[in-house]
Amino acid sequence: MKRIRLYIAVIIIVTAWVFPGCQPNMDYTNPMAESDANFYNTKKNLIGAVNGAYNIMQRGGGWTRCMPFMLNARSDEYTYTSGAVAGETASANISQFVVQGDNEFMSLSYQDMFVLQYAANLAIERLKINQDGAFDLNNAEDKALYDRLMGESIFLRGLSRFYLVYFWGDAIPDRNYTTTGGADFKLGPSSPGVIYQNMISDFKEAANLLPVRSIVYTDPENLGRATKGSAFAYLAKAYMARPILDATAKAGDAEWALAKEALKKIIDSNEYELINNYRDNGSEANENNKESIFEVQFSRSTDTDGFNPVANGDIGTWTISGQNTWRQIELTAPNSSESGRWWNGQPSLALYNEFEQDANGKIIDPRAYQGLWIPDGAKYKGKSGAWIGHNILFSGGTFDEWKGKWFGVRKYGEDEYVNDAGKSGINDRLIRYADVLLMYAECSIETGDEATALTYINKVRERANKKMLNATEADQGMFYATGTGNLPTAEQLISKAPTLGRVVSANGQVVCEGIKINTVRRLLKHEYSAELYWEGWCFFNLMRWYNNPNDPDASSILDNLKNKNALQVEQTGLTGTIPFTYQRHLRMPIPSSELSTNSNMKGNSAN
DSSP H or E segment with residue 432: strand 428-432
What pLDDT band is residue 402 in, cutting at 50, 70 and 90? confident
- Pair 326, 424: CB distance under 8 Å: yes
What pLDDT band is residue 301 in, cutting at 50, 70 and 90? confident
Strands 380-381 and 292-296: unpaired
Which comes out higher in pLDDT, residue 101 or 181?
A: 101
pLDDT for res 37: 73
Cα–Cα distance measured from residue 112 to residue 396, given in angstroms and rounded to the nearest whole number: 39
Cα–Cα distance measured from residue 74 to residue 534, given in angstroms and rounded to the nearest whole number: 11
Q: Is the dihedral of CA 12, 13, 18, 24 positive or negative?
A: positive
Query: Residue 324's closest CA among 298, 354, 289, 345?
Result: 298
Is the model's pLDDT at 24 over the cut of 70? no
Is the model's pLDDT at 509 over the cut of 90? yes
In one letter, which amino acid is 327? R
- What's the CA dihedral at 234, 236, 237, 241 to 10 degrees? 140
Query: Residue 15's closest CA among 214, 251, 180, 257?
Result: 180
Cα–Cα distance measured from residue 36 to residue 38, given in angstroms and rounded to the nearest whole number: 6
Determine the angle formed by the axes of helices 228-240 and 256-268, rounding to 10 degrees: 160
Average per-residue pLDDT for the chain: 91
Mean pLDDT, range 296-312, rounded to an integer: 62
Q: Which residues of 364-377 are buried (b: 16+ CB within 10 A; e: fewer)?
A: bbbbbbbbbbbeeb
- Pair 143, 137: CB distance under 8 Å: yes
Mean pLDDT, range 88-111, rounded to an integer: 97
CA atoms within 13 A on the CB side of 551: 24
Query: Residue 211's closest CA among 294, 145, 261?
Result: 145
For the stretch 590-604, pLDDT in tens is 999 999 999 999 999
pLDDT for res 30: 57
Phi/psi of residue 41, each to 5°? -120, 20
Q: CA angle, corner 231, sides to 128 and 455, nearest 5?
A: 165
Q: What percent of the chain has pLDDT over 70?
A: 90
pLDDT for res 300: 85
pLDDT for res 181: 83
Is the model's pLDDT at 132 over the cut of 50? yes
Domain residue extents for the chain: 327-577
Q: CA angle, corner 488, sides to 484 and 491, nearest 5?
A: 145
User: Helix/strand/coil (H, E, C) string of 376-424?
Assistant: CCCCEECCCCCEECHHHHCCCHHHHHHCCCCCEECCCCCCECCCCCCCE
Residues 6+ apart with CB under 8 A from 273: 290, 291, 433
- Pair 53, 153: CB distance under 8 Å: yes
What pLDDT band is residue 34 in, cutting at 50, 70 and 90? low
User: What count of other Cβ atoms lies within 10 Å of the Cβ of residue 43?
Assistant: 13
Is the model's pLDDT at 321 over the cut of 80? no
- DSSP code of 279? G
User: What count of other Cβ atoms lies within 10 Å of the Cβ of residue 574?
Assistant: 18
Query: Residue 349's closest CA among 493, 500, 522?
Result: 500
Cα–Cα distance measured from residue 210 to residue 276, given in angstroms and rounded to the nearest whole number: 27
For the stretch 529-570, pLDDT in tens is 999 999 999 999 999 999 999 999 999 999 999 999 999 999
Mean pLDDT, range 518-535, rounded to an integer: 98
Is the model's pLDDT at 397 over the cut of 90? no
Is the model's pLDDT at 435 over the cut of 90? yes
Is the model's pLDDT at 293 over the cut of 80? yes
Which of helix, strand or coil describes residue 150? helix
Could you tell me what percentage of the chain is helix, strand and coil, using 3-state DSSP and rounding each to the nearest 5? 45, 5, 50
Query: Residue 576's closest CA among 81, 105, 102?
Result: 81
Mean pLDDT, range 275-280, rounded to an integer: 98
Which comes out higher in pLDDT, residue 389 or 300?
A: 389
- Pair 371, 411: CB distance under 8 Å: yes
pLDDT for res 85: 95
Lowest mean pLDDT among 155-164, 174-183, 439-448: 174-183
pLDDT for res 453: 98
Q: Is the dihedral of CA 457, 459, 461, 464 positive or negative?
A: negative
Mean pLDDT, range 180-208, rounded to an integer: 96
